[in-house]
Amino acid sequence: MNKVFVLGVGPGSPDYLSPAIVEQAAKCDLLIGGKRNLELFNFPGQEKLEIKKNLNLLMAIIKDRLTDQKVGILVSGDTGIYSMLPLLAREFGRQTLVVYPGISAVQYMFARLGLTWHDARIFSLHGRELDDLAAIISASEKVALFTDPKNTPALVCRRLFEAGIKGKKVYIGENLSYPNEKITAGYPADLLDFNGSDLNLVVINGE
């Protein structure tokens, strides 16, 4: 069986694609990824497959293609932060994976804010409920949150406000690295009715 190439494509803009990622993606017979990630590449004769919800079917397709093709899996941001890497490792074994890291949205956002993030706690609210969110944020100096259409930045701020956590600074980064990027800053009370892009990252800092 051939190796599986897991490629971190960065926060979204082609400006943040590393040359190593582009080089490896160009060598793949099949590229698999989300729609936005696939749009970053357009190599002649290369097949593309968009990731849908049926991951079991996707794993079966990858296994079948690995017999005679080089397969690349495009991962948003960095391979090591809330990516498909754990699933791929379970399915194919770590020894089968060749992993190329990218720039994460977390790394990008903290850089835009001029803050370090070695001491930050990172959570994803994609399809998850974090019942102790307010307690975690209260006890942490820095927190980064991947939100989703249900667990929105406004909902996060409302939960903080209702828990009496009103003095932490909240930064909402929308469409990071894209031309329409926007970073909004305020305290929980200022952002209770925030309405923005679904593509965002929230950073909460104890300023």
What CATH number is given to the structural domain containing 99?
Answer: 3.40.1010.10
Domain that holds residue 155: 106-205
Give the tokens for residue 67: 């017999």
Residue 4 has a pLDDT of 96
> Rounded CA gap, 20 and 101, in Å?
10
**Are 84 and 129 part of one and the same domain?**
no
Residue 1 has a pLDDT of 73
**Are 120 and 90 part of one and the same domain?**
no
pLDDT < 70 stretches in the chain = 128-130, 207
**Are 125 and 140 part of one and the same domain?**
yes
**Are 82 and 120 part of one and the same domain?**
no
166 by DSSP, 3-state: which? Answer: coil
Domains: count for the chain: 2
**Are 71 and 127 part of one and the same domain?**
no
Q: Which of 51, 81, 103 is the last residue of a domain?
A: 103
Q: Which of 103, 123, 144 is the last residue of a domain?
A: 103
Q: Is the pTM of this model over 0.85?
A: yes
**Are 62 and 134 part of one and the same domain?**
no
Q: How distant, in Å, are the alpha carbons of 13, 23, 78, 99, 118 from that of 143? A: 24, 34, 18, 26, 11
Q: How distant, in Å, are the alpha carbons of 1, 3, 4, 43, 63 from that of 93? A: 12, 10, 10, 28, 12
Please provide residue 77's backbone torsions phi and psi, each rounded to the nearest 5 degrees: 65, -125
For 170-192, give the DSSP string. Answer: EEEEESTTSTT-EEEEE-GGGGT
Residues in the chain: 207
Give the tokens for residue 154: 């406004």
**Are 94 and 110 part of one and the same domain?**
no
Q: Which of 84, 103, 122 is the last residue of a domain?
A: 103
**Are 52 and 121 part of one and the same domain?**
no
**Are 94 and 170 part of one and the same domain?**
no
Q: What is the CA radius of gyration of the chain?
A: 19
